[in-house]
Each structure stands twice: as structure tokens, then as C-alpha cells.
Amino acid sequence: MLTLYHNDMSACAQKVRFVLAVKQLEWQSEELNLRQGDQQRPEYLKINPKGLVPALEHDGNILVESNIIVDYLDEAFPEPSLMPETPLKRAKVRWWMKKLDDGLHLELAALSFGIAYRIQLLDACKGDINLVEKHLNAIPDAYMRDVQRQVMTDGMGSPRFDRAVNEFAKLIEELDAELAGHKWIGSDSMSLADIAFAPYATRLEHLHLSAMWHHKPHFKDWYERLKRTEGYQQGLAGWFNPKYLELMDRAGAEAWPNISAMLD
């Protein structure tokens, strides 16, 4: 029995749902409202002490960290395999995925909060800055707490925000070069790496930033192909939250002139 603790728009949860869909696994959904602080409740902190989604329960065992969860699912449910056949290609897939844990995921949080999620959090706290502070102080993960605090305070004016924009511009450049040589990231068949990056391209698109890859034909083609897969449709598109989409589109369109000026 599989139970996923997740959120409809969380990038890391999207990645896991994509894999569950590709493998056609049945799972039970436990959805958390991240702006209302469900992830900070004591019951959930017993599942993931970092107060982050996703977490997966499989036959009574808890797994956290989305890259570890998808790797586990690929081993526990090997068909269809989402890792390439050779050790070298598997190493490449892992190398790409590691980038997310090495910092890119926090850059995404900086972009998302800096442009749109800060508005949601302020609304959830009814504009009361003390309640916002309380929510931020209760984030157990120090790295996530710092990022959110910096962009909650200074928004797009934060140096943290500028860095995030440029880290993503660099990633798109690198992926475009990678995809010039392979149909998929690191190999010629879709793997965990493609699935891991799908939510990041999606978030950028939702935040009105897809102009960042207008002149990156390989990246653009990869993303369009990925979106047409059944796994993407079920694991991501099927869960899109219209309220988030509306906010991200509106706030992203307003932010774009500032953001394009930040691009080196």
C-alpha cells in the first residue's frame, strides 16, 4: 500500500506523482495545505521532521526526499524502468538530479515566493506580518526558512532573487546544450532526470518566464515532448490548481520586465 503526503502544486510532489503515473501504481492521497501550515503540524513532523512534502509511506515505511523516493519507486517497481541501461548513463542521470538538491530547488523557492507565493502567504496570514513571521519561524528546515524569509521581506529586490533568476538561465543554457546531443537528459530514453526537471520547467512557465527558452530550441522541444506524455498529464497537469495558475500568471506577467533586466 502506497500513501503520498503531498500538495497539488509542489514541484517535488509533482515529480513523485509523475513516476507513480508512469508505473501505473495505485496510491492513496494525503494532501497538505502548505500556506495554512499543515506541514508544520506535529502529526506531520513525525512523518517528515523537516516539515516538507512529499513523503511516501510504503507498507508502513516512510520515505522522504523526492529524489530518493523516485529512485526507490524505480527499484521497488521496476517496470517500466526509468533509468538508462548503462552505468555511465545512470551516473549522468544522477549527476543532473543532484543539481536540484545542491541548490536549484531552493532557487525555485526563491523565484516562486519572490513573485507569487509571498502574496498567498500574506493573504493566508490576513496581512498580519507577525503571523507571517510566526509561519516563517516554524519552518524546521533552516535553508528553506532563510530563502523564504529573504524573499518575503525584499521580494524581487532581494539579491537572493536575482541569483535565482540567473541560476535558472544558466540551467536552461546547460540543458539546451545537453539536449542537442540526446533526445532526453543524459540518455536516449525518458528517465528520472527528465521527470525530475519537468516540474521546474513547468513552474517557470507558470510564472510567465518561458521567454527564457525562446532561443533554446532543444530545451523547448524537450519540454513540449515531456508535456505530451501520459505521466505528465496525470502527475502534473491533472493536479494543477486554477487559483495558483491565475496568481502566478498575473504576478509573473507583472514581474517579467524586472526579471528580463536581471538576466546577465
Which chain residues interact with ligand GSH by CB under 6 A? 10-12, 34, 39, 52-53, 65-67, 101, 105, 139, 144
Q: How far is the CB of 42 from ligand GSH (least distance, A)?
A: 15
Q: Is 189 helix (H, G, I), strand (E, B) or coil?
A: coil
Choice between 70 and 259, CB closer to ligand GSH: 70
Q: What's the CA gap between 227 and 179, in Å, rounded?
A: 16
The DSSP secondary structure of 53-116, one letter per residue, reads S-EEEETTEEEESHHHHHHHHHHHS-SS--S-SSHHHHHHHHHHHHHIIIIIHHHHHHHHIIII
Q: How far is the CB of 9 from ligand GSH (least distance, A)?
A: 8
CA gyration radius, the chain: 18
- Smaller CB distance to ligand GSH: residue 139 or 192? 139
In angstroms, give the least distance from the CB of 12 to ligand GSH: 4
In the complex, what is the shortest distance from the CB of residue 145 to ligand GSH, in angstroms, rounded to a whole number?
A: 8
The smaller minimum CB distance to ligand GSH, of residues 86 and 241, is found at: 241
Residue (12 or 204) nearer to ligand GSH, CB: 12
Contact (Cβ atoms closer than 8 angstroms) between residue 66 and residue 13: yes
The three cell numbers of residue 135 are 509561519
